[in-house]
Structure 1
Amino acid sequence: MGDDGPAARPNILVIMFDQLTPGALGCYGNRVTHAPTIDRLAREGVVFDAAYSNSPLCTPARYCMMTGRLPSATRGYDNAAYLPSTIPTMAHYARAGGYRTVLDGKMHFVGPDQLHGFEERRTTDIYPADFGWTPDWLRPDERIDWWFHNMDSVTRAGVAEVTNQLLFDDEVGHQGVRALHDLARDDDPRPWLLVVSFTHPHDPYVTRGRYWDLYEGADIPLPEISAADVPLDPHTARLRRVSAMDEVRINPDDVRNARRAYYGNISYLDEWTARLTATLGALGVADDTVVMLLADHGDMLGERGLWYKMNFFEGSARVPLIVHAPKRFSPKRVAAPVSLVDVLPTVTDLVGAAAPAPVDPLAGRSLIDLCAGDPTVEREVVGEYMGEGAIAPIVMIRRGDLKYVHSPVDPDQLYDLAVDPHERVNLAADSAWSAQVKAFREQVDRDWDMDALHTDVLADQARRRLVDSALRTGRVTPWEYTPPADGSGQYMRNHLDLNEVERTARFPR
């Protein structure tokens, strides 16, 4: 930081969580979760109270964040969707604008390009990079047990010292801290964009004993809305079938155990967040770094009898979003609806004039004006869902306090979140709201060709299933990313100058 304030072109640290619903955080009103570092970042930062995932499923949501565009523009339809290398991401824009770009952790890129503009990737991904998870809308009743959700995550919730997810996030956290050290020590003068992306608190709902014990005796709340409290809409019925939610009986102890482990994993993530932000301070770059904390989508956690995501109800579609840069933006809360497609234009705003102008129309808008406290800014959020559980495109519009959800095969949904935050009452069939429904429907007809989109999704699914079947025949060449490692250049080697090794390894020099 210079004498006149923070650097004009700040470093950008994006800390990303997976399947984290805002209602599980203290800074969004949860009175049980122990996450002091996240709460501190919220107190000191800009908190967005109505931030949304544009497509509440891992890969589509991340493509929205990375490209600033909706799934219908990128064909990022589901968890096996291919992101073409010709579509610029925020890493491309930042890199072209003079930033060093590093990815650490999960991004669920599908296809042979596993960098998409990042110069460096510190870990492999936790999920497959191939087309094996492609849904088939022509067989909506099919359940594929080896990759579809079921209720084991809930009925077997509890404690384990080691899980697949914990092993991955231990590596992500370690590599994130190491990346900060390496960026500080490197002679490269460029500012940097570092994305540290964890897979927790995504199910299975299993946490280490010490995080489980944090909630001993805690009053873990049960869902506020049960399945019996609201009518069964068609998409909810499909999700219940897809995830086998009706094949087992979930009792209150199962729900509390799942939520307790979920809260425990938030505490685990909070410790990694503390280490990352403390490292910024120890390296002397905290004032010159904008920290963005967010998630790809939420988790229903038993609300409405639903678990996981894949719908536009608040528990699934809303995400936490905090921008922490106290030297730039005073602490505040923002009520205007925003979404993940706003991240790319926010990053290019921070990069500044050196960032290229967008080559394609973006669905998002920069958050900088809202961070600066402009009260005149009006926002609208648009979402699309074309993953498993759907049988036709589903679109969502959030404007003001109203949320409208439309699919050609389902009855419309309209909720007034100001008076009905739990979305108990669907107003779409209420004659008193017919004008609003008509206006939303006209907007859908204007902005989407739903029949053409449906046709394209089906064709894209068919292509990917054919390619996947072919690539699994004979010799298989995986697309998974393997981080390069060259031991000959690490630490001290006899072909290196010891004095130079010690000079470049130490920070401050």
Structure 2
Amino acid sequence: MPAQSKRPNFLLIMTDQQRADHLGADGNPIVRTPNLDQLASGGWRADRMYVATPVCMPNRASILTGRYPSAHGARHNGIALSTDATTFVDMLRVTGYSTALVGKAHFQNMTNLPPSWPVRAEDRLVREAFRAPAGRYDQELKEKWLADDAFELDYPFYGFETVDLVDDHSDEVHGHYLRWLRSNHPQVAQLAGRQQAVPTPEYELSRFGQAWRTRVPEELYPTAYIADRACAKLRAFSSSDRPFFLQVSFPDPHHPFTPPGRYWNMYMPDDVSLPASFHHPEPMPPHLRWLLDRRANGKDAKHTPALFACSEREAREAIALNYGSITNIDDRVGQIMDTLEDAKLLDNTVVIFTSDHGDYLGDHRLMLKGPIHYQGLIRVPFIWKDPAGVAGARSSDALFSSIDIAPTILDRAGVTRFNGMQGECMLPVMLGRKESVRENLLLEEENQRVILGFQGRTRCRTLMNRRYRLTIYDGVQWGELYDLQEDPLEFRNCWDDSAYAGTRAAMMESLTRSMLYHVDTSPYPSALA
């Protein structure tokens, strides 16, 4: 076996839609995550890791590029990341790394809706004047994968030399997994989906398609397939003298909630606690009131991917099933870590764990995700386990963003950052050289839907500092200002409180300066294609 390169390997493990506080390492007393907790105890944890935007596609693109959605162009779901975009995986690959992705990608549209290239859908004149960027934007489309067993990605795919694709959610995923399942276990492939599920009339969520008890067994469920393929990749990497970057991306615990086998009833709804913020006191901000009024009037839509106001029972069910999916993932993380050790790769591999965004799961009586930036949605887990160790504390409450992941990996690999990166390297804080990398943290969001009582598609910006969260919305005069030190549950909106007028003015100025600072300054192309 060739000797391993001294350049560090990287294993990035990602979940989909997991809150930071749904880990034992973050203080959750119910969910069982012993393997991730062990990873955290031997590594470093960012207690205030926030997303660049709490939406799947744009934040995954931000993790890849180290850039905000307003800079990389994939501003909301349905707008593909340009195939011309430079990613940190590209930089690792061209400097000698083997690069692979196992699991969910979601850099392009994965549903059967037509993909959009990285210009605004409403910019009709732009779309007519210029051709779409070079490259294929149908590579993750479900209909393509279902219709043609020879359908494949173009490699390198955003820097990844190989991909074992598992797109979409629950047991209805597609890509290489479904192709494998149909070929090797055709009878099981027929068992997937809501229509084939075990009846669970006792679950409110199953009545409108947000949960079902899958008949796909644990060992053939997408989570197991991803772990098995990841372990096979690690064993292959162990016989190479090239360093590697492997991203292992689980589609769970994202809704619909379908934890397989024993994980379905591992946690029971009556045994989990409601979030402390479930009962939001009066007065309420307008968008929250809008959602609660729609539920009271019977106009809420609980069968779509959009956020909705939930009952106590619905919240408890979602939390319990979410916990089951997380423990399933944790068991598979243990399998991956055992393989890493057995392959003698552990001593030279940086292991990273995070998620693309959170989920309300009952916070303020809300379910799923949307453009209301409560902490459960925008704060995600982040663990960095480095064989070189860390010189500072084992955790930090400094402000970090998902755009910081790319420059941190490149700096740790000794690879030059590419022009246009907007994130900050976290290593100085890990090494105890700095207390923080920023005073203020920006979040962006542009939503696809006209919801929450706004006149058009929701567009908002949030600024966080150590004490406050401020959020403004396009087209309205009201906003949100929360004193997280005095009001960690974000019950009291101080936007119109005269005692906070100075704070509001200072935060608005900081938000303006942060938005200006993060305007893309990378060179314009010399000519339009």
Q: Are positions 1:332 and 2:330 aligned together? A: no
Residue among 376, 388, 407 paired with 2:473? 407
Structure 1 residues 243 and 83, CA gap change in structure 2 (3 angstroms): farther
Which residue of the partner structure matches residue 374 of structure 1? Answer: 433
**After superposition, where does 1:230-245 map in structure 2 within 5 Å?**
231-236=283-288, 244-245=301-302
Matched, 1:270 2:330: yes
Q: Is the CA contact (8 Å cut-off) linking 1:9 and 1:350 kept in structure 2? A: no
1:118-177 CA-partner distances (Å, limit 9, x unpaired): 111122533799xxxxxxxxxxxxxxxxxxxx9658886464342999833332222111
- Structure 1 distance, partners of 2:87, 2:272, is 40
Q: What TM-score do you get using the length of structure 1 for normalisation?
A: 0.76
Match of 2:235 among 150, 164, 181: 181
Change (3 A) 1:194 1:365: same
The 2-side partners of 1:369 and 1:249 are apart by: 41
Q: Which amino acid counterpart does residue 409 of structure 1 have in structure 2?
A: G
Match of 1:435 in 2: 502
- Residue of structure 1 in register with 2:187 after alignment: none
Query: What TM-score, normalized by structure 2, do the two folds share?
Result: 0.73
CA distance in 1, matches of 2:26, 2:377: 15
Distance 1:389 1:78 in 2: 10
1:117 maps to 159
Equivalent-residue separation in structure 2 for 1:218 and 1:43 (angstroms): 30
1:151-230 alignment to 2 at 5 Å? 157=211, 159-162=213-216, 167-185=221-239, 187=240, 189-215=241-267, 219-226=271-278, 228-229=280-281
Secondary structure class of the residue paired with 1:206: coil
Offset from partner CA, 1:244-280 (integer Å, 9 cap, x none)? 2599995433322221111011100001110111111
Q: Paired residue for 2:349, among 286, 289, 293? A: 289
Task: Name 1:255's counterpart in structure 2.
Answer: 315
Stretch of structure 1 that moved more, 154-163 or 339-348: 154-163
* Change in 2 beyond 3 A, CA 1:217/1:319: closer
* CA distance in structure 1 between the aligned counterparts of 2:64 and 2:513, rounded to whole angstroms: 26
What runs of 5+ residues in structure 1 fail to find an aligned partner?
Answer: 130-149, 454-509
| Bigger Cα displacement from structure 2, 111-120 vs 424-433 | 111-120
Q: How many residue pairs get matched?
A: 423
Equivalences for 1:374-393 in 2 at 5 Å? 374-379=433-438, 380-389=440-449, 391-393=457-459
Deviation, structure 1 residue 302: 1.1
1:396 matched to 2:462? The reply is yes
Q: What residue is the counterpart of 1:96 in the other structure?
A: 94
Q: Distance in 2 between matches of 1:431 and 1:271?
A: 51
**Pair 243,7 (structure 1): closer, same or farther in 2 beyond 3 Å:** farther
SS of the aligned residue for 2:422 comes to: coil
In structure 2, C-alpha distance between the alignment counterparts of 1:447 and 1:238, rounded to whole Å: 30
Counting aligned pairs with the same residue, the percent is 29
Aligned counterpart, 1:503: none
* 1:506 counterpart residue number: none
Supply the distance in 2 between the matched residues of 1:73 and 1:28 (Cα, whole angstroms): 32
CA contact (8 A) 1:158 1:257 kept: no
Q: Contact (CA 8 Å) 1:151, 1:243: kept in 2 or not? A: no
Using the alignment, how far apart are the partners of 1:266 and 1:346 within structure 2?
Answer: 26
Q: CA deviation at 1:194?
A: 0.5
Mark the CA change 1:305 to 1:368 in structure 2 (over 3 Å): closer, same or farther: same
| Amino acid of the structure 1 residue aligned with 2:158 | H
**Aligned ranges 1:468-479 → 2 under 5 Å:** none
Say which is worse superposed, 213-222 or 423-432, in terms of deviation.
213-222
Amino acid of the residue matched to residue 255 of structure 1? A
1:28-83 CA distance string (max 9 Å, x none): 11100011101111111111110111110111110110110111111211111121
CA drift at 1:237:
5.5
Q: Structure 1 residues 109-118 or 432-441, which shifts more? A: 109-118
2:125 alignment partner in structure 1: none
Equivalent in 333, 346, 350 of residue 408 of structure 2: 346
Superposition deviation, residue 319 in structure 1: 0.3
Task: Identify the residue that residue 483 of structure 2 maps to in structure 1.
Answer: 416
Residues 156 and 94 from structure 1, CA distance in 2 versus in 1: closer, same or farther, beyond 3 angstroms? Answer: closer
Greater mean alpha carbon deviation, residues 282-291 or residues 330-339: 330-339
Cα distance in 2 for partners of 1:156, 1:124 equals 20
Q: Given that residues 398 and 404 in structure 1 are in contact (C-alpha distance below 8 angstroms), is that contact kept between their aligned partners in structure 2? A: yes
Deviation at 1:21, TM superposition (A): 0.3
- Answer 1 or 2: higher relative contact order, Cα 8 Å, separation at least 6: 1
Unaligned runs of 5+ in 2: 109-136, 140-152, 175-203, 451-456, 521-529
Cα RMSD over matched residues?
Answer: 3.2
Q: Give the match's secondary structure for 1:299.
A: coil
Moved more, 68-77 or 241-250: 241-250
How far off its partner does 1:231 sit?
Answer: 3.9
Aligned-partner Cα distance in 2 for 1:357–1:88: 10
CA contact (8 A) 2:90 2:159 kept: yes
Task: Give, as a single letter, the amino acid of the residue that structure 2 aligns with 1:173.
Answer: A
